[in-house]
Structure 1
């Protein structure tokens, strides 16, 4: 007799893009090890027909239903349908809405799906930040570093570029400056730091950098001869990391070790540094 893993289905319904319910589901699912789960995402569920179509799919593949429907008539139709099918359901945002109303004595405004994605000043700030991050990748156009909200400094493969882009999506203009052996830092970096632009040093363990760089060389099709070149040589990498630490110390930069951090965790640490700096007394 062979054991079979039970297949679970999770239905996620949204009246917008599904980002909110998908992100929440991802956070919850990550806490369950070994869970065999199939996700079915139903987006832009904004009419009775949309709800009925989703219910048909739920009937075909019964499973937990999690939804973010702001239109109460549609939510009620979904709940009735789920009760008839005998499947459990979760109104993801309702407890939050109810708590806000009760605690602060306010009522919700017009229930418009996707309102958080409106094109407003924040949207254009994010677009500008993404454009800035792309234009200032790997030390490009160093003369514009003074326009940055933060500058990330580090040796190759310390996740500077993806972290800059992650910060940009949150409206933070982040530039990055690589520390390259045998190459002096651009004078603009020290000038920007002297002008008060926050800068953060990113570091990783030499062993981790050797591993990542070796993988990078394989991806780009480096020859066996190149694979043993200085870029991924353990001794050279250890020297790079040591020199980077000396540089960070000389410049007085806060340092974040990204060895065991995800991009999100690194970005959160950087934002904490920025918040702390904003709380400082202005320089005279």
Structure 2
């Protein structure tokens, strides 16, 4: 058999069927010489199945199918049998085994695996976004973000950004320092997607002192002094007021709790 022709028939995109064909064929023809794999995606009707089988008969192709609906699988099987076309059902036996073992009917909804893939890649994209636009590195991200976080140093902006990114939200965060004018993009953003993070001065003092010790520095540095902290907090409130964003007190609050507050607000706005 010089030429091998495979028709991959699917009610979704046909990626699973093609991967299976390639895995099997590689055991006989690693270079895939004289091998043709043709996808027939999103097949939804008996008429389409019949047309594929007729074409397969003419071209002497082997049909590989991944159909989640039982009626569609049965129709393709009987039609291919009648026309003496070789057809292999990849999903049917496994679905039927799981149905019997679990005593539960399958959903029979095409494309669920592909949807999971889309969700995965969306989450990865959000994580990469959070890294790229962390700590005000590139203010252009503020206008591209789903959520914008502002706050003084050590208010958990970065861990919160990463947590929300794992929920597939693109997050940019901007630190506020009295000596540095905030980026103009911050005042052009929709105030509903911007959240200010505030913490009590005493807690912030304690956190900053521990941070300085970790870095091997004197914990009495200006960075951790109450007067400096108060100055930064006052500056924060001025900026938050200009933006008109909601302010969340993160004092003694876990990142997950703060994230849930933000997620609830976003869902309420949708």
For the superposition of Structure 1 and Structure 2, which TM-score range results when normalised by the shorter chain? Answer: 0.5 to 0.7
State whether residues 151 and 197 of structure 1, in contact with CA within 8 Å, keep that contact through their aligned partners in structure 2.
Answer: no
State whether residues 133 and 165 of structure 1, in contact with CA within 8 Å, keep that contact through their aligned partners in structure 2.
Answer: yes
SS at match of 2:123: helix
Mapped partners of 1:116, 1:257: distance in 2: 40
Where do 5+ consecutive residues of structure 2 fail to align?
1-97
SS at match of 1:134: helix
Mapped partners of 2:187, 2:262: distance in 1: 19
Where do 5+ consecutive residues of structure 1 fail to align?
1-70, 75-96, 102-106, 279-284
How many residue pairs get aligned? The number is 169
| Larger Rg over CA atoms | 2
Instruction: Specify whether residues 72 and 231 from structure 1 end up closer, same or farther in structure 2 by C-alpha distance, changes over 3 A only.
Output: farther
Give 4+ residue runs of structure 1 displaced > 6 Å after superposition. Answer: 71-74, 115-118
Would you say 1:220 and 2:212 are equivalent positions?
A: no
Would you say 1:233 and 2:228 are equivalent positions?
A: no
Instruction: Specify whether residues 175 and 267 from structure 1 end up closer, same or farther in structure 2 by C-alpha distance, changes over 3 A only.
Output: same
Would you say 1:130 and 2:127 are equivalent positions?
A: yes
Mapped partners of 1:72, 1:231: distance in 2: 62
State whether residues 148 and 197 of structure 1, in contact with CA within 8 Å, keep that contact through their aligned partners in structure 2.
Answer: no
Instruction: Specify whether residues 277 and 119 from structure 1 end up closer, same or farther in structure 2 by C-alpha distance, changes over 3 A only.
Output: closer
Instruction: Specify whether residues 116 and 160 from structure 1 end up closer, same or farther in structure 2 by C-alpha distance, changes over 3 A only.
Output: farther
Following superposition, the deviation at residue 133 of structure 1 comes to 0.2
TM-score by length of 1: 0.54
Superposed CA RMSD: 2.7
Mapped partners of 2:177, 2:215: distance in 1: 20
State whether residues 186 and 243 of structure 2, in contact with CA within 8 Å, keep that contact through their aligned partners in structure 1.
Answer: no
SS at match of 1:192: coil
Following superposition, the deviation at residue 191 of structure 1 comes to 2.0
Instruction: Specify whether residues 120 and 250 from structure 1 end up closer, same or farther in structure 2 by C-alpha distance, changes over 3 A only.
Output: same
State whether residues 151 and 174 of structure 2, in contact with CA within 8 Å, keep that contact through their aligned partners in structure 1.
Answer: yes
Where does residue 172 of structure 2 map in the other structure? 175
Following superposition, the deviation at residue 188 of structure 1 comes to 1.5
Mapped partners of 1:245, 1:130: distance in 2: 28
Instruction: Specify whether residues 264 and 129 from structure 1 end up closer, same or farther in structure 2 by C-alpha distance, changes over 3 A only.
Output: same
State whether residues 135 and 141 of structure 1, in contact with CA within 8 Å, keep that contact through their aligned partners in structure 2.
Answer: yes
